[in-house]
Amino acid sequence: MYTRSFNRVNGSKPRQFLFRSSQFRKSSGASIRGRRGENIDPSKFINKAVKFEGPDHFISEHKFQDFKVDQRLIQAVVMKGYKTPTPIQDQAIPHILNGSDLVGIASTGTGKTAAFLIPLINKIILNSREQVLIVAPTRELAIQIDQEFKFLTRAIKMFSVCCVGGMSIGKQISDLRYNYNVIIGTPGRLKDLIDRRMISLSRFNTIVLDEADRMLDMGFINDTRFIMNGLPRERQVLFFSATISYEIEKLIKEFLRNPVRISIRARETAENVEQNVIRVEHGNTKINILNGLLIKQEFNKVLIFGRTKYGVEKLSKILINKGFKADSIHGNKSHSQRQKALVSFKQSRIQILVATDVAARGLDIADVSHVINYDLPATYTDYIHRIGRTGRWNKCGMALTFID
């Protein structure tokens, strides 16, 4: 079956770029190669979106008021705009409140940050001496978690310190001298502060490892293991990952004790993200095709992924010169530059954000209409996380992948 008519995406020549998954299997039969040499079947980039409606829509077992948490926290949740718990919230919060170790396998955009923050904030309310350590793979994700924590606790006297690379370690050291209940940080910066004796791991009885698969991919496992080995033996460990693998299972056995397992992933990619490929035919160019897409009205908030920092910056400048409101984020940009671009994109002051895979995980950007893989991802796992930036909170989204 064809996906939705490509006339909506590429004007009058839909068949030039639209493919059935069976067409790939019948043609060369060969897969394409990602950046790290992984062979990826192009048919995996094609999927008909399914809108969750009617009786198949998830019905939570709980209301937020059913959870045994402080009423100020419930009020903050309502102000945040949560009406009913998402599946991961509905299933995880009671177990976290009970003090269990937990493994949560959940795709991006499912509300897992609130799934662990709500019960942990309540844990601190019940014991003001409680301290929680939250470890995230990227500074963007750590900052996002810290912002959500601050929103949920703005009516409660509770403080956090965000410890990430790319920002002044002096200010973080200064902040750590004040009273706090929560530290949110990236593995490398946390290890640095622990080595400087600014963080005493023996005081933390609760740890969250968020996006654990990404930490593994980015080579942070030794720093993470260093942090885990410094914690008290009696502790609560919450382990969240979007994907599961043999290596992740090994970490679960190493770090957790008799964990409750919750998986809400019905499939590798979200059913409400429509996926298709764009074949770049001889005589045409990717930038010309991209221009034809971006001028269409429905491409109102577009996240474009490129392979390299140089390529992302170059593409961003090309789009700006063509009159598009665009910006970029990549590793060569300072923290303040990256945050400025993200805020502009979140607030829809720009239409297009061009990014390397640094933006593929964890970022909660509302109402991204399209994700475009201008360059192929290194692995299929990277593809899953890239396209997870659209179709969030059961909204429909579209992901398009260029294939030369």
Is pLDDT above 90 for 162?
A: yes
Can you tell me the mean pLDDT for 240-244? 86
DSSP reduced 3-state for 70: coil
| Rounded Cα gap, residues 375 and 34, in angstroms | 9
Residue 1 lies inside a defined structural domain of this protein = no
pLDDT at 55: 34
Residue 334 lies inside a defined structural domain of this protein = yes
- Domain boundary at 263, 285, 317, which? 263
How does DSSP assign 115-127, residue by residue? HHHHHHHHHHHH-
Is pLDDT above 80 for 31?
A: no
Residue 369 lies inside a defined structural domain of this protein = yes
Can you tell me the mean pLDDT for 52-68? 68
The helix or strand, by DSSP H or E, that contains position 185, with its residue range, turns out to be: strand 182-185
Can you tell me the mean pLDDT for 354-360? 80
Q: Could you tell me if 168 and 299 lie in one domain?
A: no
Which of the two residues, 16 and 260, has the higher pLDDT score?
A: 260
Q: What's 376's domain CATH number? A: 3.40.50.300
279 contacts 55 by C-beta, under 8 angstroms: no
The structure tokens 């360059």 sit at 375
376: Cβ–Cβ under 8 A, 6 or more apart, which residues?
A: 32, 34, 35, 40, 307, 401, 402, 403
Sequence letter at residue 186:
T
Report CA torsion sign: 279, 281, 287, 293.
negative
Going by their DSSP bridges, the two strands 160-163 and 102-105 should be labelled as unpaired
Q: Could you tell me if 72 and 43 lie in one domain?
A: no
Q: Could you tell me if 301 and 354 lie in one domain?
A: yes
Count Cβ atoms within 10 A of the Cβ of residue 329 and give its class: 0-12 exposed, 13-18 middle, 19 or more buried: buried
Q: Could you tell me if 251 and 177 lie in one domain?
A: yes
| Rounded Cα gap, residues 145 and 151, in angstroms | 10
Range of the domain at 162: 59-263
pLDDT at 383: 86
**Sequence-separated contacts (24+) of 394-397 with Cβ below 8 Å:** 394/52, 394/57, 394/272, 395/272, 395/367, 396/49, 396/51, 396/272, 396/273, 396/274, 397/49, 397/270, 397/272, 397/273, 397/274, 397/368, 397/369, 397/370, 397/371
Residues 99-147: pLDDT tens digits?
999 999 987 667 899 999 999 999 999 999 999 999 999 888 999 999 9
Is pLDDT above 70 for 161?
A: yes
pLDDT at 244: 83
pLDDT at 24: 39
- Domain boundary at 263, 279, 308, which? 263
Residue 2 lies inside a defined structural domain of this protein = no
Q: Could you tell me if 283 and 235 lie in one domain?
A: no
pLDDT at 131: 96
pLDDT at 13: 38
Q: C-alpha angle with apex 361: 360 to 364, nearest 5 degrees?
A: 100
Can you tell me the mean pLDDT for 19-24? 39
| Structure confidence at residue 387 as a pLDDT band (50, 70, 90) | confident
Q: How far is CA 160 from the centre of its chain?
A: 21
Can you tell me the mean pLDDT for 296-323? 95
Is pLDDT above 50 for 86?
A: yes
Residue 382 lies inside a defined structural domain of this protein = yes
Give the CB-side neighbour count of residue 340, counting CA atoms within 13 A.
8
The helix or strand, by DSSP H or E, that contains position 398, with its residue range, turns out to be: strand 397-403
pLDDT at 391: 80
Domains contained in the chain, number: 2
Q: What percent of the chain has pLDDT over 70?
A: 81
Residue 333 lies inside a defined structural domain of this protein = yes
Among residues 221, 268, 245, which one has the least CA distance to residue 380?
A: 268
pLDDT at 10: 36
Q: Could you tell me if 135 and 245 lie in one domain?
A: yes
Which of the two residues, 30 and 170, has the higher pLDDT score?
A: 170
End-to-end CA distance of the chain: 23
Q: What is the pTM of this model?
A: 0.68
Q: Could you tell me if 115 and 47 lie in one domain?
A: no
Count Cβ atoms within 10 A of the Cβ of residue 387 and give its class: 0-12 exposed, 13-18 middle, 19 or more buried: buried
40: Cβ–Cβ under 8 A, 6 or more apart, which residues?
A: 31, 32, 33, 34, 376, 377, 379, 380, 383
pLDDT at 360: 57
| Rounded Cα gap, residues 121 and 127, in angstroms | 10
Q: Could you tell me if 168 and 47 lie in one domain?
A: no
| Rounded Cα gap, residues 272 and 50, in angstroms | 5
Residue 183 lies inside a defined structural domain of this protein = yes
Q: Could you tell me if 307 and 243 lie in one domain?
A: no
| Cα 202 to Cα 7, 234, 291, distances in angstroms | 60, 10, 55
Give the mean pLDDT of the chain.
Answer: 84
Q: Could you tell me if 46 and 86 lie in one domain?
A: no
Can you tell me the mean pLDDT for 204-222? 92
Is pLDDT above 90 for 41?
A: no
| DSSP 8-class letter at 31 | P
340: Cβ–Cβ under 8 A, 6 or more apart, which residues?
A: 327
Q: Could you tell me if 232 and 315 lie in one domain?
A: no
Is pLDDT above 50 for 296?
A: yes
Q: Could you tell me if 367 and 283 lie in one domain?
A: yes
Is pLDDT above 80 for 93?
A: yes
| Structure confidence at residue 366 as a pLDDT band (50, 70, 90) | confident
| Structure confidence at residue 8 as a pLDDT band (50, 70, 90) | very low
| Structure confidence at residue 83 as a pLDDT band (50, 70, 90) | confident
- Domain boundary at 263, 289, 315, which? 263
